[in-house]
Amino acid sequence: MVLTSHNEMGITGEKTGFWLEEFVAPYYVLFDEGVEITLASPKGGQPPIDPRSEAADAQTAYTHRYYEDNALKEKLSVTHKLNEIVADAYDGLFYPGGHGPMWDLANDEDSIRIIQNFNDKGKPIAFVCHAPAALLKVEQKNGDPLVKDRHVTGFSNTEEAGVKLTNIVPFSLEDSLVKLGALYTKITNWMEYVQEDGNLITGQNPNSSAEAARVLLRALHKNYA
């Protein structure tokens, strides 16, 4: 699981990071099925949690479980640096969202290298909400964008408008995916929606995080049963 290290919301002075639900829901979906999970981020150590994801109205059964889980808190505080990760040692990849990835993971060379390695070998890769931003500079073996002609979703323009950040984020995720030739689709704001195209799995928003992890889990079982 790869998390953002970026904690600044543009020039607003407000903080961002990864969205807690989008990390803990997939983590527990996988963990409860016996998956061995390594956590990594560009800078290593404690990745920033978006403070808005700790607001009362953003809590779920998964986040409440996290608040009582000292072992996971400790594990989260010492994430590996991405440049230390050897992709061949892992079977699957999951990127939680939050706005942070739009600033760092969209351009991080180590992240791009890891995703490209996984994709070239057909290993399952999953991204939720804003995390598909990490795909924008990843290429297929023939040099085409990884997302070209592939069914994907991600945080939509209408959802970005709903949180009043359209003019703050560095780019529109939806528009960027479409520009690269992705077969982008979405549904009603905040509804669960996951797309699977071969080894590529994407979820539209925080409410899609657990299901994206379930789809990844099925892919892992299929590949490595």
Confidence (pLDDT) at 84: 96
**1 within domain boundaries:** no
Q: Is 167 among the domain residues?
A: yes
Q: Is 111 domain-assigned?
A: yes
Cα(17)–Cα(190) distance, integer angstroms: 19
User: What are 150-171's pLDDT values in tens digits?
Assistant: 999 999 999 999 999 999 999 9
DSSP conformation class of 47: P
Which residue range is the domain that position 50 belongs to?
20-224
Residue whose C-alpha is closest to residue 138's, from 175, 102, 112: 112
How many other C-beta atoms are found inside a 10 Å radius of the C-beta of residue 81?
14
Q: Which residue has the tokens 């479980």?
A: 65
**Total domain count, the chain:** 1
**In the predicted model, what is the mean pLDDT of the chain?**
97
Check which CATH number belongs to the domain holding 153 and give it: 3.40.50.880
On whether residue 49 sits in a domain, the answer given is: yes
Q: Supply φ then ψ for residue 220, to 5 degrees.
A: -65, -45
Nearest to 198 by CA among 131, 161, 155, 146: 146
Residue 224 has pLDDT above 90, yes or no: no
15 in a domain, yes or no? no
Averaged over 10-15, what is the pLDDT?
Answer: 92
Q: Is the pTM of this model over 0.75?
A: yes
Distance CA 58, CA 21 (A): 8
CA 130/CA 102 separation, integer angstroms? 7
The predicted structure's pLDDT at residue 225:
65
Residue 14 lies in a domain: no
- The region, left, alpha or beta by phi > 0 then psi within -120 to 50, assigned to residue 169 is beta
**Size (the chain), residues:** 225
Is 11 domain-assigned?
Answer: no
pLDDT, mean of residues 118-134: 97
Phi, psi for 221 (deg, rounded to 5): -60, -40
Q: Let me know if residue 3 belongs to a domain.
A: no
Q: Is residue 155 a contact partner of residue 128, using CB atoms and an 8 Å limit?
A: no
